[in-house]
Amino acid sequence: MSEVARRICPVCEAGCSLEVAHEGRSVTGIRGAKSDILSRGFICPKGAALKELDADPDRLRQPLVRRDGVLQPASWDEAFAAIRRGLMPLIEAHGRDSVATYVGNPTAHNYELALGFGVMAKALGSPYVFTAGTVDQVPKQVSSGLMFGSRMAVPVPDIDRSDYLLMLGANPIVSNGSLWMAPDFRGRLREMKARGGKLIIIDPRRSETAEVADRHHFIRPAGDAWFLMALLHVMLREGALLTPALAPHVNGFEDISALAAEVDLARASAACGIGMAEIETIARELVSTPRAAVYGRIGTTAQKYGTLTSWLIDAVNVVAGNLDVPGGAMFADPPAFGDVYGGNGPEGFAIHRYTARVTGHPEVLGEFPLAALAEEIEGNDEGRIRALICMAGNPVLSAPNAARLDKALGTLDFMVAIDIYLSETARHADVVLPGVSPLEKGHYDSFLSFFMTRNVARFSAPVFPLANNALSEWRIMLTLAAIVSGMGADDASVSALEDGVLADIAGPDAGLLHGRGHRGVEAWLDMELRRGPFGSGSDENGHGLTLDKVLAAPDGIDLGALQPRLPGMLRTASGKVELAPQILVDEARRMLAGEAADEDQMSLIGRRQVRSNNSWMHNLPMLAKGPFRCTLMVNPADAARLNITEGGLARVRARTGMIEVQVEITDEIAPGVVSLPHGWGHDMAGAGLSVAAERPGVNSNVLTDDADLDAITGTAVLNGIPVRLEAVG
Ligand SMILES: Nc1nc2c(c(=O)[nH]1)N[C@H]1C(S)=C(S)[C@@H](COP(=O)(O)OP(=O)(O)OC[C@H]3O[C@@H](n4cnc5c(=O)[nH]c(N)nc54)[C@H](O)[C@@H]3O)O[C@H]1N2
Ligand SMILES: Nc1nc2c(c(=O)[nH]1)N[C@H]1C(S)=C(S)[C@@H](COP(=O)(O)OP(=O)(O)OC[C@H]3O[C@@H](n4cnc5c(=O)[nH]c(N)nc54)[C@H](O)[C@@H]3O)O[C@H]1N2
Ligand code: SF4
Ligand SMILES: [Mo]
C-alpha cells in the first residue's frame, strides 16, 4: 500500500518540504509539498534524487575499520573500540590539542549532528576545530558580530515585501539562496517583479540569476568592496542621513562618512569595472526606494576582501535606510536555539583570542581556518595535530590547496570519519562511521531559522525507522563524547551522559525538559521551542510553541512576516549598531591605499550547478546524467587569443598546482575571468563512489591557495585566483 510522508529536504538552505510517497521501505516518488507555508511546493532535482540517495548501494550502512591497511566492515562495538584504542593513547601522550575536528556543510542541515557535535567537541576540549565555514560564510558572521554583536545576526532580504534587490556574488536561481532561507526564489522574484520590483545582479559571470534580472553588471573578481565603497561615497556625497528610525541605534556615522569621502570615484570605478554613471544610479535607487536591500553571498565572502565586503553590504543597507525595515534587510527571529548558535558570552563579540601552534593563525568564531589544517598536521612539531575527527565533510575536495591537504591527511596517526559515503576524504580514515539516510532522521531548521525570509517553525519526523544496525547521528556523537571523556561507550553509559548533558543545558528550565513525552535530542528541541521567543514557557495550556504543536502542523506554523528587531536584538557592548568598527575601517584604508590588480593575470572563480551539491551528490544517476558539467568557462576573446577550442582541454596553472580541464567557450563569463565548479575530482583510489567515478571531473581546489586568505578571518579565497591558461596539445 502506498503512503505519503513529509520530509524537509536537508540538501540546501531552501529547506523545501517534500512529499515522499513510499510502499513499505521503498520510495516510489518525491514531489514538492504545495501546502508547506515556506516552500509552497517548490522542489529541485536534488530533492527528487533523495529517492536514489536513500537506495544508493554505495551509501554506507555499516561501520568500517582499517585492518591490515584496508577498510573492512565491522560492528559498532568494534568500531568504537578501535576509536578508543586510536585516540586515547594520543590524548594521553600529547594532550587533547593533538586531536582536531572538522565539521562539514551538511551539519548545517542536520540538527542531530550539529547539536551532537557541540556535545562531543566540549568533551574533547581541543581548540583545533575546523569547519567549512572558513571556506564559506565566516566573513559574514564576523562582520555581523562586529556590527550587531552576534555572529548569527545576519540580515536577509525581505523579498516578499521588497521592491529592489541588489545582489552581489550570489546565484540563487541555482543555489536556492544561502544565509537566506527563501525557497522558491524564482517564484518570489516573479511576484516581486509583478509588483514592479527590480533585481540588479553584480557578478563576473552572467549567471542564471542575472538572466532573469532587470540589470546585470560584470564586476572584476573581488572588486565588490571598491564598488560598495563607491556606493557609500555617492550616497553620502548626495546627503544621505541616518533615518529617524535608525539614528538612535547607530554609532559611527561620522567615521564611515569620513572614510567614504576618501574614495576616488573614478579609481573605484576602474578597480571594480563598473561605470561611474551606473554606480551613481544604483546608489540613488537604493536611497530613494523605500523597500530595498543589498545581499551578497559566496562571491563576496570567499574572496580577498571577504569580511570588508560583508560589512560594506550592511553599511550600505544602513546608510540607505534599508536595515530593519519591511521590504529591506531584516533579521529573522529563530523560534529555537537562539542561544545555542549565538555563541556570545557576556564579554561580547571577539575574534583573534588565541593562535594556532604551528601556523600562528588567529582563532575566529572558536575555530581555525581550514586553510591552516594541512600545515598544522605536517612536520615534526610537538604541537602538531595527530588525529582528526571529520564529520560530514570532504575537505580533500573542498579545501584550498587540496592536494596538500590530501597528502597531510595520509600522515595522520589516526582519523575517524562520520559520513554517508566512503568519500575522497573518508578514504584516509582508520574508522568510518555511517550516517543514516536522510529519510531515517528527523529535521528541524535549527541553524537555518536565523536566516528565514518569514518566521516559521517546522519539523519533520523520520519517514522510515532506523535501519537494523543503524545508529542515529545524535547517538554516534554522544558515544564519541563518552569515549573522549574516558567513559564507557555502552548504551547505559551513553544514556547517562545524555541525561547529564540535557540537564546541564536546561539549567533552571529543567521543568521544561522532563515529563513532556520527548526523549534525547527531541526533548532538547521541545525545551528550546518552549523557552524561545514564541514559546509556551512552562504553561502547558498556553498558546505558545511546543514540539507537539509543531509536529501536529506538517505544513509548519506561521509566525508571521519578519518584524523590526532593533535595538532589542543587538548584542554589542554599546547596545547600538556599530557602523564603523575600527578593524574594518583599517582594512578599507588598506585596500584604498593598495596597488591595482595585475590586469594581465586571468582570474579563476567558482560556480554552482542545479544537479550538483558541493562534492557529494555526483553518485546519483538521476543527477549525474546529462551534459558533462565540470567545465572551465572561457570568454570567446580569451579563447581566441590563447588558441583554446570549445570542448578541448586547457591547462590551468596556479601557484599551488595545475589541472587540465574541458573548456566551454561562452560570453556568459567576463573577459579575463574563467569559471570552474568545485567538488569534482572523483578519481581517487580508495573512495567508494562508483557512479561519480565514471565521470570524475577535476578538483578545482588544486588551484586555490592556502596562503591566499581574507586577512581578518583566514577564510580561503576561492574566487579571484590568479591563474595562467594555455591550450593542451
Ligand atoms: N573552489 C571552491 N571550493 C569550495 C567552494 C567554492 O565555491 N569553490 N565552496 C565552499 C563551500 S561554500 C562549502 S559549504 C564547502 C563544503 O565543504 P565540505 O563540507 O567539506 O564538503 P561537502 O562537499 O559538503 O561534503 C559533505 C560530506 O558530508 C557527507 N554527508 C552528506 N550528508 C550527510 C549526513 O547526513 N551525515 C553525514 N555524516 N555525512 C553526510 C557527504 O557524503 C560528503 O562527504 O566547500 C567549499 N569549497
Ligand atoms: N545546486 C546547488 N545549490 C547549492 C550548492 C551547490 O553546490 N549546488 N551549495 C550550497 C552552498 S554550500 C552554498 S555556500 C550556497 C552558495 O550560494 P551562492 O553564493 O548563491 O552560490 P553560487 O551559485 O556559487 O553563486 C556565487 C556567484 O558569485 C559569483 N562570483 C564569483 N566571484 C565573484 C566576485 O568576486 N564578486 C561577485 N560579485 N561575484 C562573484 C559567481 O560567478 C557566482 O555566480 O549554495 C548552496 N546551494
Ligand atoms: S532546492 Fe532542491 S536541494 Fe534545496 S532544499 Fe529544495 S529540493 Fe532540496
Ligand atoms: Mo557553503
516 pLDDT tier (thresholds 50, 70, 90): confident
554-581 average pLDDT score: 96
203 lines ligand 2 (CB under 6 A): yes
Residue 717: closest CA among 221, 294, 177, 96: 221
* Structural contact between residues 23 and 1, judged by C-beta atoms closer than 8 angstroms: yes
Predicted model pTM:
0.98
pLDDT surpassing 90 at residue 599? no
How many helices, marked H, and strands, marked E, lie in the chain? 27, 28
What is the end-to-end Cα distance of the chain in Å, rounded? 59
pLDDT surpassing 80 at residue 383? yes
171 Cα to the center of ligand 3, angstroms: 14
Cell matching residue 697:
571531473
110 lines ligand 1 (CB under 6 A): yes
339 pLDDT tier (thresholds 50, 70, 90): confident
342 pLDDT tier (thresholds 50, 70, 90): low
pLDDT surpassing 60 at residue 344? no
* 3-class DSSP assignment, residue 60: coil
- 3-state per-residue secondary structure call for 625-637: CCCCCCCEEECHH
Q: Taking ligand 4, which is a single-atom ion, which protein residues have CB atoms under 5 Å away?
A: 136
Residue with CA at minimum distance from ligand 3 atom 6: 16
9 Cα to the center of ligand 3, angstroms: 6
Cell matching residue 99:
586531536
Q: Which ligand is nearest to the CA of 31?
A: 3
354 Cα to the center of ligand 1, angstroms: 27
Nearest ligand 1 atom to alpha carbon 677 = 8
50 Cα to the center of ligand 3, angstroms: 10
* Stretch among 26-35, 437-446, 594-603 having the lowest mean pLDDT: 594-603
719 lines ligand 2 (CB under 6 A): yes
Q: What is the mean pLDDT of the chain?
A: 96
Q: How far apart are CA 373 and CA 401, in angstroms?
A: 11
Q: Which ligand is nearest to the CA of 610?
A: 2
104 Cα to the center of ligand 1, angstroms: 5
177 lines ligand 1 (CB under 6 A): no
Residue whose C-alpha cell reads 544602513 in the numeric block: 318
Nearest ligand 2 atom to alpha carbon 614 = 7
* 3-class DSSP assignment, residue 251: strand
Q: What is the pLDDT of residue 598?
A: 61
Q: What is the pLDDT of residue 237?
A: 98
Residue whose C-alpha cell reads 590547496 in the numeric block: 401
282-292 average pLDDT score: 98
Nearest ligand 3 atom to alpha carbon 48 = 7
Helix (H), strand (E) at residue 46: helix 45-48
421 Cα to the center of ligand 1, angstroms: 12
Q: Could you read off the pLDDT of 119-158 as tens digits, one per residue?
A: 999 999 999 999 999 999 999 999 999 999 999 999 999 9
610 lines ligand 2 (CB under 6 A): yes
pLDDT surpassing 60 at residue 303? yes
176 lines ligand 2 (CB under 6 A): yes
Q: How far apart are CA 307 and CA 134, in angstroms?
A: 11
Pairing status of strand 215-217 against strand 198-202? parallel
Q: Which ligand is nearest to the CA of 107?
A: 1
Q: What is the pLDDT of residue 94?
A: 97
Nearest ligand 3 atom to alpha carbon 12 = 4
Cell matching residue 302:
570567499
* Structural contact between residues 109 and 393, judged by C-beta atoms closer than 8 angstroms: no
Q: Is the peptide bond before 400 cis (omega within 30 degrees of 0)?
A: no
398 Cα to the center of ligand 4, angstroms: 10
679 lines ligand 1 (CB under 6 A): yes
